[in-house]
Amino acid sequence: MRKIIITVLAVFCFISLAMGETLKLAYIDTDRVMKECQDTQEAQQLFQSEQLSWNEEIQGFDTEIQRLNDEYEQKKLILTESGKTEAKNKIKDLMARRDQRVNEVFGDGGLAMQKNAELLEPILNDLREVIEKISTDENIDVVFDASTGGILYAVPRLDITDQVIEEMNKVTDTDN
């Protein structure tokens, strides 16, 4: 992680020297912001409450499955073959419903991910706005994230993406 940050800083220093300008750099630790921000703490409490509800629902399935298994084990000696099959199918069906619900809630794109995104979206938008405001007010050219090594804000004049695309296309054209 430190190598990435050092490399990115070196690149910006080089660009700064090449442009004959000095860049004002800053960084934030988004992990710390997310841990200490009041809005994030409230969102986390809401999410944990919802998660507890989902876990209790799954636990209800587990309890009922265990009860049916215990009941089957107690009665299997006196059950007919069709009774055994019916009891086993009832357990299998309930296990399938439980697994389906676990996937609906905790699987990829499930309710848990959706709820987390719903709660975090306004916080991340506010964070982005705060970073841009402070950067503009303090004439900061680039803001790094110390926790990920990524760039959170940069003045548009430092973006050379269009030039890189143009040069890459020239290289491609000369190769053909």
Instruction: Give the pLDDT confidence of 72-92 residue by residue, as tens digits.
Output: 999 999 999 999 999 999 999
Q: For the segment 121-156, what is each residue's pLDDT rounded down to a tens digit?
A: 999 999 889 988 998 898 889 888 888 878 888 877
The Cα–Cα gap between 114 and 47 comes to 11
Q: What is the mean pLDDT of residues 95-113?
A: 97
Q: For the segment 2-55, what is each residue's pLDDT rounded down to a tens digit?
A: 555 455 555 555 555 455 568 888 888 888 888 888 899 999 999 999 999 999
Range list of H helices, the chain: 2-19, 30-36, 38-75, 81-106, 111-137, 161-175
pLDDT tier for residue 98 given thresholds of 50, 70 and 90: very high
**CB atoms < 10 A from the CB of 152, how many?**
18
The Cα–Cα gap between 98 and 22 comes to 60
**CB atoms < 10 A from the CB of 37, how many?**
17
